[in-house]
Amino acid sequence: AQRVTQPEKLLSVFKGAPVELKCNYSYSGSPELFWYVQYSRQRLQLLLRHISRESIKGFTADLNKGETSFHLKKPFAQEEDSAMYYCALGGGSNYKLTFGKGTLLTVNP
């Protein structure tokens, strides 16, 4: 069974501070990991995916298969980063995604 755990419901940091949103997964196959973001009054959108190894809006995430983690990091948080972040796990032939419960990030001025 696929499972995604985001241990922090709420995370509050100050502007300019580093931020790390944790994500752990459980999956027996080859995982595909994603981070989705939902800004206030906007639709849920893809932030980044592990297969692309890209950096979006200063965020990066590295897939660690040994620790089964896909933590989202940014060295200097900005107020506009305040949003709900969801980690999602895909894999297999059914193209379903399993979402974590989300972490609400607040960046204070």
Partner 1 sequence: DGGITQSPKYLFRKEGQNVTLSCEQNLNHDAMYWYRQDPGQGLRLIYYSQIVNDFQKGDIAEGYSVSREKKESFPLTVTSAQKNPTAFYLCASSSWTGYNEQFFGPGTRLTVL
Closest CB 27 distance from partner 1, rounded Å:
13
Written as one letter, the residue type at 9 is: K
Element (H, E) at 49: strand 45-49
> Of residues 29, 43, 66, 109, which one binds partner 1 by CB under 8 A?
43
Q: List the interface residues with partner 1, window 66-95 (CB under 8 A).
A: 86, 90-91, 94-95
Structure tokens at 76: 């200097």
Q: Does 12 bind partner 1 (CB under 8 A)?
A: no
Any contact of residue 56 with partner 1 (CB under 8 A)?
A: no
CA-CA distance, 6 to 85, in Å (whole number)? Answer: 10
Q: How far is the CB of 7 from partner 1 (least distance, A)?
A: 13
Size of the site for partner 1 (CB under 8 A): 22
Give the one residue of 44, 55, 62, 108 binding partner 1; rule: CB under 8 A. Answer: 44
Figure out which of the listed residues 18, 51, 64, 67 binds partner 1, where binding follows CB under 8 A. Answer: 51
Interface with partner 1, residue 49, by CB under 8 A: yes
Q: Give the separation between CA 97 and CA 106, rounded to whole angstroms.
A: 26
Question: CA-to-CA distance for 18 and 67, rounded, in angstroms?
Answer: 21
> 47: exposed, middle or buried (C-beta count within 10 Å: 0-12, 13-18, 19+)?
buried
